[in-house]
Amino acid sequence: MNRILIVEDEPRITLFLEKGFRANGFMTAVARDGQAAIQFALEDEWDLVILDLGLPGKDGLSVLEELRGQGFHHPVIILTARDDVQDKVTGLELGADDYVTKPFHFDELLARVRARLRVSGTATGQTEMVLRANNIALDLRTRRVYAGDRLVELSAREFTLAETFLRHPEQVMSREQLLNHVWGYDYDPGSNIVDVYVGYLRKKLGDELIETVRGVGYRLRSSG
Ligand code: CA
């Protein structure tokens, strides 16, 4: 059974989250401020942390920074009322795996949580040779790509970009992250090559697959 630490100070939201996760077979605990969050997270075993940014005392971004600094490696999903691009970017840079903006649908958060647990291997415990998301299947052994039952021709670079997205479903990837993953660190960060290649993938795999997150980057939709 997966264990989720909910870091949130609003009782209405903690109740809603606990009820939702428990109904879906998760174990939960709640930390109501930043100091408690750090203590709980480091003292006990968790598979994932839901982290509110607006907390009394130590705020969520400081909590995240401290946890990552102490070697806490489990997935963290930021929950924030602030529709603030800078907070999201900072959160991702500090090591958050994903974020959800309030108000949110529980189903969306649950899908993100399951996607993170699949990637971290906690849910399946094994390395997948076929990555799947939406109607896309990418076979790492044969390097074949299918959209539904249609075989799609991808160049080596397009394949690596698609693989990067499929390994991080529902996660916002910045242009810099994608450049680093696919083209390596020595690429000109001002280049628009990521946008060009996302365009190629959309053309070959479907427009709906990769969503543009304005000012941040791109996100692969894991379900249609
Ligand atoms: Ca709050």
pLDDT > 90: what percent of the chain? 49
pLDDT of residue 124: 44
Mean pLDDT of the residues in the chain: 87
Mean pLDDT of the 168-173 span: 90
Nearest 5°: the CA angle 111, 113, 114 is: 65
Gap between the Cα atoms of 90 and 78, Å rounded: 11
Ligand 1 mean position, distance from CA 81 (Å): 8
Could you tell me the pLDDT band of residue 187, with boundaries at 50, 70 and 90? low
pLDDT of residue 110: 92
Ligand 1 mean position, distance from CA 79 (Å): 9
CB 47 within 8 A of CB 3: yes
Ligand 1 mean position, distance from CA 7 (Å): 9
Gap between the Cα atoms of 63 and 50, Å rounded: 12
CB 47 within 8 A of CB 58: no
Ligand 1 mean position, distance from CA 82 (Å): 10
Query: Using one digit for the tens of pLDDT, what is the confidence trace for 113-151?
Result: 998 888 766 554 444 578 888 899 998 878 889 998 899
The model scores a pTM over 0.85: no
Mean pLDDT of the 205-221 span: 93
Mean pLDDT of the 21-38 span: 91
Ligand 1 mean position, distance from CA 224 (Å): 31
Residues whose CB is under 5 A from ligand 1 (ion)? 9, 52, 54
- The token pair that represents 148 in the structure block: 């539904």
Gap between the Cα atoms of 56 and 27, Å rounded: 24
Ligand 1 mean position, distance from CA 54 (Å): 4
Name the residue with higher pLDDT: 33 or 44: 33
Lowest mean pLDDT among 73-87, 97-111, 118-132, 202-216: 118-132
